[in-house]
Structure 1
Amino acid sequence: MLPSLLRSSLLAAALLPAAQAPAAEPACAKPVYLTFDTGHMEIAPLVAQVLQRQQVRVTFFAANEPTRQGDGSLGNDWAPWWRARAQEGHAFASHTYDHVYWRADLGGTPPSFSVRPSAGERQGRQFIMTAAQYCAEITRAADRLAEVTGVRPLPLFRAPGGKTSPALLAAARGCGYAHVGWAPAGFLGDELPSEKFSNALLLERALRDIRAGDVLLAHLGIWSRKDAWAPAVLEPLIEGLKARGFCFATLREHPGHQGWIASRAKP
């Protein structure tokens, strides 16, 4: 038998009105979806530090691009970095293995495409890829991400430069990948020349224009930008958006992609 005092305490607790129970954390009404494409990776450690400090989860779209240090962004030198991001709960998806730009549709059944990669053995050369070859290019990056992170990438991809066609998108969906672009206000501008678009201008514009539901785009290092974007803009942007009531989520939680992701889940 429980002592009478303990029985009375338990009964009183059971009869507490619901208003006195701990309140559940309210769902954020203003989510945004920060995404990073690979790049020269020099700022990747800084990006990781900011995301960890701010407790923000993002989605990384990865290709095996040339890097300032190491053997490519999906090479063995960077594998520990990717593994650590997986352990922190970030999401991953393909950016095509050799960062292959779509150039034109060439027709046919099944279709083929004129492409030009900016990485790999055929870097800078224009050639023809069949739909099956393009699918293999997406899958190659996804498979490598699975290898270096230890988690299954999302069944999503981002075409380099966001350059696509209806035929290319249909081919990719046919082999299990839906395309993800970005919102106009979500183009954070780290690819733009710093001589014309200062970091202060890019930060001001983003904080002014970003809206709930936007997919945001930045990179893990842009070769051409002289005034590096991330050290000056990334953390103030995150803090400024939080102050405006925004929260951050990965594309796993995006309502426009959840159904597709669930439909591609393997048992």
Structure 2
Amino acid sequence: MITRPNPAPGNNRWDAKAYQQFSRLRQRPVNELLDRVQLKHPKCIYDLGCGTGIATQLLAKRWPRARLMGVDSSEQMLSEARGLPIKAMWKHCDLLDWQPEQPADLLLAAAVLHFVTGHEQLLPGLLGQLNPGGCLAAHMPDWRDALWYQLMLETLESGGPDGAPLGSLELRQRMAARPLLSLEDYYRLLAPITRTLDIWETEQLQVVDGKSPIYDWVKVSALRPVMQGLKDDELTRFIYHYLMRVHKHYPPEHDGRTLFPFKRIFIVATV
């Protein structure tokens, strides 16, 4: 069963400006992904979860004659994207409600599918929206075993008064869920319904600047359900205790920068 994130009622905003803080590093995996896409002249391209248009710009540059549409569930993100000097259309829509206006030659999903569970149904469904010879290209942060993510879970479990949990049981269970499959399971799922299939995993040693750069990175993406799901007093405690843990385990280097290993799964599937 496919399920979508469940943000706090009335609080589905994204901080587009903060997301742009590390735009250069966020662009790097998109370049790595597109380097493996072999399409010559795709006519119809959708950038799913386009956000502020970091990947959409690269698509417009590589295939300037293609019909290009960015799709995102956040009006704040799309407001930033609409200001880009590129030829593209923009659609405000949740990924799970999206239906293409016409079959696609390329579906790009950069850092979005990991927010949705039920990949056994989701990915074959996306492949079904492609023209023959079309391609699904996706990269997904794989952070569930990362130290900074485990520190977040630890803070939720014991960051309250006298070591009590923070937030609801549903929030803690949702953050502990593991929506991504193994590389082998992605192959077993997609190989029978694709013509070519390329799956790989990388871990990039991101070198980030700032006083609390890891927190600044994850608060607008991975930790967004936590930031929205806690009451004000709980959120204050969470931020304090989480920052204490992160600063202890990710101290700055002698040059003042912080080392931030980041793992991703990549899929390029052609039907």
Could you tell me the TM-score, scaled by structure 2's length? 0.32
More relative contact order in 1 or in 2 (CA 8 Å, sep 6+)? 1
Which structure has greater strand proportion?
Answer: 2
Could you tell me the TM-score, scaled by structure 1's length? 0.32
